[in-house]
A and B are shown apart, each in its own frame.
Chain A
Amino acid sequence: EVQLVQSGAEVKKPGESLRISCKGSGYRFTSYWISWVRQMPGKALEWMGRIDPSDSYTNYSPSFKGHVTISADKSISTAYLQWSSLKASDTALYYCARYASGIYYFSGPWGQGTLVTVSS
């Protein structure tokens, strides 16, 4: 079964760093891109950026560039989303989603989501 399994919920303080993960299984990890999508409480989906795990090439949404870093470790089929200094406004549910290179939609599967809460 093809699936993406994300790391568990996190509670952090403003200014702290964080890295969440998305582990792929059931397929060749390097054959599909991974995107990260943010969903703030009660709000819409927002595309953050994507990575090609085969060469770790990344693209970021202008809204998120410089605020987060996307990376991948193909040896363990895992993609990451990280922050160096969290803000309260980073509180949200974060999804990873798989899709083939050259297509412009998230064919899936999606991860189950990681809830990040940033509060003093």
Chain B
Amino acid sequence: QSVLTQPPSVSGAPGQRVTISCTGSSSNIGAGYDVHWYQQLPGTAPKLLIYVNNNRPSGVPDRFSGSKSGTSASLAITGLQAEDEADYYCQSYDSSLSGYVFGAGTKVTVL
């Protein structure tokens, strides 16, 4: 069971906006640790998508955005495209575990 809770799946039509939630606790997100997001395309290694809550690495389209509030965070994808079909993972640091933690992952399906 993952420390960070994500919905198993979300879906949307091309061009739509979808959001993925990531809920933690007082020992990770609620303790002030930042949230980061990774995209894992089918059959490939994960890739950093959003870091420190709302920052995009070079090359990541601005269709992707992140936010954090309290013990939760969210990833939004606007203008959904077929190439966005992937698994998305949130990640933070947990002080009680003294290590990094991931969410269970959310599969995004483009209808």
Contact = CB atoms under 8 A, between A and B. Distances in A.
B102 A111 contact: no
Chain B: interface size category: 20 to 34
A44 B47 contact: no
A95 B89 CA distance: 15
Contacts of B102: 44-47
Contacts of A59: 98-99
A95 B46 contact: yes
A15 to B, nearest CB: 28
A108 interface: yes
Nearest to B40: A45
B105 interface: yes
Interface of A: 35, 37, 44-47, 49, 59-62, 95, 97, 104-108, 110-113
